[in-house]
Amino acid sequence: MSYLKPLFRHPKLPKNKLGYTQKEYEGSLSTLCAGCGHDSISAAIVQACFEMSVEPHKVAKISGIGCSSKTPTYFLGNSHGFNSVHGRMPSVATGASMANKDMVYFGVSGDGDSASIGMGQFVHVIRRNLNMVYIVMNNGCYGLTKGQDSATADQGSRSKAGSVNPFQAIDLASLAIELGATFVAQSFSGDKQQLVPLIKAAMHHKGFAFLNVISPCVTFNNNPGSTKSYDYVREHIEATSTLDFVPEMPEIKTNYEKGKSTRVAMHDGTLIQLNKLATDWNPEDRVSVANALQHARTKNEILTGLLYVNTEWKDLHGTLSTCSTPLNKLKEAELCPGTEALKEINAGYR
């Protein structure tokens, strides 16, 4: 880790629409190992929020326990954060979202946090289509307890100590698609160009947006034989598409080969423009996505990019028909039925 973070910022740093520089979106100094993939993801979140001119205090960051769950301290310092308990981030995020539907919820988790202790909550938050961005910083090991295999470690992957993982891996992206997640993307911490637009699109998705980001653990899982090392991942990633997140309705870009470009309109009028690299895959067709993932797996490829998006399904607030005013803004007059109603209620029990 670094010990100092320079406070000096160039006076002419670019400002976004709100008049903030990137500094307003940064957090405290990271205490993760130098070169940790997680720090790159934090940086991507900072860049995405800055570029989108998100009000920093209109974001809430919620995490579980583990190295990944520490990261919310290292980005968006002007946002409230909640480092909760191991594997339980989804429930805390669900409650928080129910309280105030007008904020952006960033859930940060790891492979131990989501694929093992928190699997139940991960599955059920998908089922409810909670309007949130759920990032798993996936390194295939338990970094904070010194490198034990996690449930996403690939079968046959070799640990730093030399042991070979005998168990099958849980593929979180496939699982999310199977469960009906309405936005599923996969990326690599080392590919900021892909990651930033994915985060932007995820924030605009009204529903559950899942990002499974392979994020190598430089200390415990970056050795030869590991399938979550920088080298291995770089050699095996296969992008589904190149992607642009288009904040406002633009003219159609024509500099890509016709027939390979597809656009997905988000609820708020923004667009995702995908320039497909894989031809047999349609991001709005779950079956084709599931097939593409299976095929990639047989070829030992890691399919990245936006895999699946569905803008039709209601998010949890929609399903519950909650009112437009956030529940945490309602006062006595709107919540308490009052004494006259109570008289009637009493009469009903006589």
| Binders in 116-135 for other proteins, by CB under 8 A | 120-121, 123-124, 128
* Nearer of residues 84 and 262 to other proteins, judged by Cβ: 84
Cα separation, 97 vs 104, whole angstroms:
9
Residue 203 touches other proteins, criterion: CB under 8 A: no
User: Three-state secondary structure along 297-310?
Assistant: HHCCCEEEEEEEEC
| Binders in 54-83 for other proteins, by CB under 8 A | 55-58, 60, 62, 72-73, 77-83
Minimum distance of other proteins from residue 328's CB (angstroms) = 4
Cα separation, 319 vs 322, whole angstroms:
8
* Nearer of residues 19 and 224 to other proteins, judged by Cβ: 19
Structure tokens at 196: 């930033």
Binding mask 212-231 for other proteins (x = CB under 8 A): --------------------
Cα separation, 262 vs 246, whole angstroms:
13
Residue 4 touches other proteins, criterion: CB under 8 A: no
Which residue has tokens 């670094």?
A: 2
Minimum distance of other proteins from residue 232's CB (angstroms) = 33
Residue 314 touches other proteins, criterion: CB under 8 A: no
Cα separation, 282 vs 294, whole angstroms:
14
Residue 323 touches other proteins, criterion: CB under 8 A: yes
Candidates 138-146, 189-197, 224-232, 341-349; binding stretch for other proteins (CB under 8 A): 341-349
Q: Which residues contact 56 (CB under 8 A, 6 or more apart)?
A: 20, 24, 25, 49, 76, 77, 78, 79
Residue 324 touches other proteins, criterion: CB under 8 A: yes
